[in-house]
A and B are shown apart, each in its own frame.
Chain A
């Protein structure tokens, strides 16, 4: 199915997901209540799973249930950005390298570009937008702002979510542990020095030279 004339020579991740989507979806169905779509969405002839046509899904994003209709091949990242207008998670590498799409799934950080949207049903999805509520800024993004740990800012929400997850899991984390939690993220403007300032401030630790 892969056109040899397209730039990418091998199957893209997206094609791979498309081909394996049926299996993944079937697994999700077997997990029962997570798959909200009615039986009518089942499309026989594709291995008994769902798709390739669009199905209705419900995602819990930042504490709110939201519905949309997507093809099973759509990633959580693209569902959030293109179908639900939740754009704090950014698409940069789109293959689990840069961390710009980092979100929390049941409190655990994932690359949203590498999770299918249908897999995220029934789970708590948290994006950077959740760290600002009723005019109140969470301590993690606040530390980024104070230390100027962002320039263009395109990678920043991903870093912020990654750091928030480390500190949620271990509020007593030492600076080195927090920094370790950021190793799956890449910044192009070069804000790591200021990020370290933010980390030390959040850990209430004085930074030596």
Chain B
């Protein structure tokens, strides 16, 4: 079952099927669900970054107009670990009354010492972040190559400096939360949740309520952004469902903006002292890094520096990594678009350009000299994988982007421009896995009335997953994507993999293809019986079934009407994990031909830096990206441009700022937590580097990774001074310029 070699719809630019509904506000997101007699719920949260609850008095709140029920999340005596930690949820007849109830609750706290700054927590010798059996600082996976002692001996130049990037927030526009409703007998629960994992969210609630399989249903027809932060019901989802059970009424609980920023997810910070040395030709000889970052109150699995030096690791002979995970009284970090990669990109790519400048080597030449080599051993088992051809992929993509941006004409030596406003160009590379897996059962039904229905329980986060399903099926059945009716986002259909790590397109596409082909075959077999011809006399062509017996071209709809049965239906899914383990041919087909994993990607930024105000404007941006076989070129380009814009946001604007004294985030909003508007963004030129022979690979994460490092390097190229910490704000640019004027290196 290979991908069709002639692709009529696959790989073209297809508008998303639900575009009209979304653009005119008729699409119902979970936040938009209003059920009969629905109550509204809100959560009272700790204002302290670290405390224990002394007393909790709800008497006054119970007398507030509209009050219906409480759900206690933390009892008196419990410890809270960050400002925003949940205490108690309340349901009332209106949102206004739910707010009134919150204001009437009295809580006394025993306030404890806290840490919200990584550097403070790193220095603290006592367990000031709280919790039993937890320390502020945990060693990460330190690593040193053999004989590192003399690693820097004989280098033509060595640079040592600090780099980093702070904590940022997912800022999903549709906040976390759900609407919960029980049936009359309180035996079945339905939730409309904003989630990246429809079956997982149902399962999380099922486990919480100790219910039987199938008794919880999760529906997510439209979803307003997750970026890695929405994989289960969360505390607010459980609270809503509990309150709905207590009150026997539907309950809506969606976080408000301050809550969304405070508890809806953060990306860990990363700071490191990097020492890098190279030969005069620009080959990196040694890379040493001592780094730390915080994933909030989580124990640290969410911060990983194990891929340093990023991308170029396999080409660098001497590597040393020291790595500490710092605990702080901030919400637990969640996966965020390409977890760990953007941070590692900044710690690697900025240092490389500083070394290139010291060596007087063009940064593009420097990167070409340090590309990870194609892996010969890997080529034997997965010749179409990233590892087997990574060097070749990057070389091809660099050649493309070099022409797109006119690098040879427009790049200049760092700081070479005169004048107040200086422009510069910078580049960076990235990689991501993006492989798929099952289970992702998919059903295709061809109805006698000519309609075609596609079903899965997967979710469309704005990735155009609905459209992807329709494209593949349309290609197989000779139809247009608009001919296919797609239903997804309903857990009662069956399992599906969560949409995280760019796994949805590769995880679902082969099952969709197989279901479509199986349905087509069943359709033609049934039709052959009705037409009294051999099955192999019938074939599909655009819009028609071709009967070779009489050279008749039967319009698809007419052919359906001749089926003689209400419909033909096919179900398909991935082979099981065990089947894949036991069968080399199955593994080859599903994981190296239909799908694969590992992509490259090159990005280049052009910036203008005002050396009087410190304001950085990204004036142009170029991105070259591969993702194997492209299903929808339009949606792919949207993903890449969107990833770049998210990267530009954390390059220039975004940062969670915590107040050392109160332990609270001071910008848990959208006015002081800066996000770009349309005027802030440059034109972005995207080139999809199509490699159809590789099968389907995910595209969600990669395009956001290299962006900030490319911008950082463009700023360095413009002003000849390194601004080491992202976001590269006017304050930091001016500080770097002042530092140089003061004579510091």
- Give the interface of A toward B (CB within 8 A): 1-9, 14, 71, 73-74, 78, 81-82, 85, 87-95, 97-98, 100, 127-129, 131-132, 137-138, 141-142, 144-146, 148, 150-157, 160, 179-180, 182-196, 209
Question: Given known contacts A87-B28, A191-B642, is B678 in contact with A196 (CB within 8 Å)?
Answer: yes
Q: How many A-B residue pairs have CB under 8 A?
A: 220
Q: Which residues of B contact A138 (CB under 8 A)?
A: 24
Cα A38 to Cα B434 in complex, Å, equals 62
Q: Mark B318-352, 1 if CB is under 8 A from A, else 0.
A: 00000000000000000000000000000000000
A-B contact pairs, 19 of them (CB 8 A): A5-B44, A7-B259, A71-B94, A87-B28, A90-B174, A90-B224, A145-B20, A150-B22, A151-B462, A151-B464, A152-B225, A154-B225, A155-B173, A185-B678, A190-B643, A190-B645, A192-B641, A195-B678, A209-B685
Evaluate whether A153 and B462 lie within 8 angstroms (CB atoms) in the complex, with A88-B24, A100-B173 already known.
Answer: yes
Q: Which residues of A contact B635 (CB under 8 A)?
A: 148
Q: How far is the CA of A192 from the CA of B676 in the complex (A)?
A: 10
CB of B95 within 8 A of chain A?
yes
Is B591 engaged at the interface, CB distance under 8 Å to the other chain? no
Give the distance in Å from the alpha carbon of A145 to the alpha carbon of B503 in the complex: 25
Which residues of A are found within 8 Å of B462, using beta-carbon distances?
150-153, 189
The answer to whether B16 touches A132, judged by C-beta atoms less than 8 angstroms apart, is no
Q: B112 within 8 Å of A by Cβ?
A: no
B212 within 8 A of A: no
Alpha-carbon distance between A196 and B684 when the two chains are bound, in angstroms: 11
Interface residues of B in 23-69 (CB under 8 A from A): 23-29, 31-32, 34, 40, 44-47
Q: Does B1 contact A (CB under 8 A)?
A: no
Binding site for A on B (CB under 8 A): 15-16, 18-20, 22-29, 31-32, 34, 40, 44-47, 83-84, 94-96, 99, 102-107, 109, 171-175, 222-225, 227, 256-259, 262, 461-464, 634-635, 637-639, 641-646, 649, 664, 669-671, 675-679, 681, 683-686
Question: A192–B649 Cα gap in the complex (Å)?
Answer: 13
Known contacts A73-B96, A89-B25, A150-B462, A145 near B257 by CB under 8 Å: no
Pick from A7, A150, A188, A190: contact of B641, CB under 8 Å: A190
| Interface residue from A81, A100, A157, A186 paired with B23 (Cβ < 8 Å) | A157
- In the complex where A192-B645, A195-B678, A209-B683 touch, is A82 in contact with B23 (Cβ < 8 A)? no
Expressed in whole angstroms, the Cα–Cα distance for A6 and B27 within the complex equals 34
Contact A90 to B31, CB < 8 A, known contacts A152-B174, A152-B223, A179-B679: yes
Does the CB pair B102–A154 fall under 8 Å? no
Residues of the B chain whose Cβ atoms lie less than 8 Å from the Cβ of A184: 677
Closest to B104 in A: A3
Write out the residue numbers on chain B whose beta carbons fall within 8 Å of the beta carbon of A196: 678, 683
Q: With the chains together, A47 CA to B644 CA distance in Å?
A: 53
10 cross-chain pairs, A with B, having the tightest CB-CB distances, nearest first: A88-B25, A190-B645, A152-B462, A154-B224, A190-B642, A153-B22, A145-B19, A128-B25, A87-B32, A157-B25
CB distance from A95 to the nearest CB of B (A): 7
User: Are A193 and B24 within 8 A (Cβ)?
Assistant: no
Task: Name the A residues within 8 Å of B23 (CB-CB).
Answer: 128, 131, 141-142, 144-145, 150, 153, 156-157, 160
Expressed in whole angstroms, the minimum distance between the Cβ of B302 and any Cβ of chain A is 21
Contacts of B257 in A (CB 8 A): 92-95
Asked whether, in the complex, the Cβ of B24 is within 8 Å of the Cβ of A137, the reply is yes
Min C-beta distance of B107 to chain A, whole Å: 5
Find out whether the CB atom of A152 lies under 8 angstroms from the CB atom of B262.
Answer: no
Contact A193 B684 (CB under 8 A): yes
Docked CA distance A153–B174 (Å) = 10
Separation of A130 and B20 alpha carbons in the complex (Å): 12
Whether B24 and A141, one on each chain, are in contact in the complex, defined by CB atoms closer than 8 angstroms, is yes
Are A192 and B678 neighbours in the complex by a CB distance under 8 Å? yes
A209 to B406, CA, bound (A): 13
Instruction: Determine the chain A residues whose CB is within 8 A of the CB of B669 once the complex forms.
Output: 93, 95, 97
A24 to B14, alpha carbons, bound, how many Å? 49
Which of these, A91, A144, A189, A193, contacts B225 with CB under 8 Å? A189
Chain A contacts of B222 at CB under 8 A? 152-153
